[in-house]
Amino acid sequence: MLSSPPAALRALYATAVARAQPAHGLAAQLLPPPAGRTWVVGAGKASAAMALALEAAWPADAPLAGLVIAPHGPLPPGAGQGRIAIRQGAHPVPDAAGAAATQALLAQTAAQRLTADDRVIALISGGGSALLSAPAPGFSLADKQALNTTLLRSGAPIAQMNVVRKHLSAVKGGRLALACAPAPVCTLLVSDVPGDAPEAIASGPTLPDPSTVADAAAVLTGLGLAVPAALSETPKPGDPVFAGHRVHVLARAADALAASAELARTWGATVRVLGDALEGEARELGRAHAALALAQRTPVLLLSGGETTVTLRGGETGGHGGRNTEYLLALALALGGAPHIWALAADTDGIDGHASGAGAVITPTTLARARALGLDAADHLARHDAHRLFAALGDLLPGAPTFTNVNDFRAIWVGPQRGGV
């Protein structure tokens, strides 16, 4: 029995984030240094932390150099001060700094004149699609920014967005591997995609791409968008350029959920994991989880991961918040103040969408406290403005980069239905 459900939920989230740190298992995936040099490339929300972990594990007398691209903002202490340089760009919509960093990465890789005796280590994590920004010929950075913004507002699953991005890029969908040839590439990944398909993470810059130009065109057409003439084909599975390559996923949502479940069981909690790859509209998943929680007849902790979406329709500009606070507000409304249910939802990267928090917590008193402040929860949900409601209640989780990203973490504690906890 949990004596303080909100504190317990926060501890579970912290445990999930800690398990998702890329230092877990990275050293074990490193081969001995090659006969030649080791060149490091990479991008993503976890790339700076991955670079630090790699430098800590690498022999001091073995050649190591490279460049990775991280999001604007704070970096892990020590990042960029060693043998692997760090540059920064914008996420989720690419900017000129990210485009310049990508061009520098490609130029420096070409300048290495890599051979088969060298090895490339690619450090790739979620967020890399925006940070590795080198538009295909005939497709400008402004074109890319406009399309990215439209895709993000469309509610399209991340897998569909990445199919489009791969075919409008000079670096995604295996093209970075082409730039590294003939050196073999070891790709280390932190997964932020449901299902953990390596080629989908950050649009697979060093991995063969099974999708086609026709697939990308179908996604765009299905969303009612124009199909750019700049779409171009990517290197496919079986291409000799990928011979000798290695791939390993260091952290994924399933790992984070398993760590949290293990902690909860030490408290004597019964745990049910609903899945690590749940997708769909954030508010609809919140309503579905409310029905599931209300149907429980014994105390239980419900855990889930994945990546929901928030679709803005009919010219909506939206409020201030992200998919996790939207999920929680829909959950709270559907629970209707049930006296025995608490929940937390947060992004493991520490930032929920564009908001200033990582996510939030709801309690049995969330709706009543909102009403006491004159806040209409249903109106906030309709305007995609859940963040401001939770901020007013003091129930936001502080937002700050965690230097990893395995997508959303959700936990619902269904306590005893009589007597409280």
- DSSP bridge pairs for 86: 68
Pairwise CA distance, residues 413 & 421, whole Å: 11
**CATH class for domain 22-251?**
alpha beta
Predicted pLDDT at 321? 66
pTM here is 0.92
CB neighbour burial string for 347-367, b if at least 16 within 10 angstroms, e if fewer = bbbbbbbebebbbbbbbbebb
Predicted pLDDT at 419? 43
CATH 3.40.1480.10 for the 5-17+254-414 domain, yes or no:
yes
Pairwise CA distance, residues 22 & 331, whole Å: 31
Instruction: Say if 5-17+254-414 and 22-251 have the same CATH topology.
Output: no
Surface-to-core class of residue 264, CB atoms within 10 Å of its CB (0-12 exposed, 13-18 middle, 19+ buried):
buried
Structure tokens at 280: 């769909």
Predicted pLDDT at 44? 97
**With contact defined as beta carbons under 8 Å apart, do 83 and 115 qualify?**
no
The domains of the chain are located at: 5-17+254-414, 22-251
pLDDT tens-place string over residues 296-316: 999 999 999 999 988 876 545
H or E element at residue 155: none
Predicted pLDDT at 393? 98
pLDDT tens-place string over residues 74-121: 999 999 999 999 999 998 889 999 999 999 999 999 999 999 999 999
**With contact defined as beta carbons under 8 Å apart, do 328 and 305 qualify?**
no
127: left (phi over 0), alpha (psi -120 to 50) or beta: left
pLDDT tens-place string over residues 186-200: 999 999 988 899 999
Residue 19 has pLDDT above 70, yes or no: yes
Predicted pLDDT at 311? 85
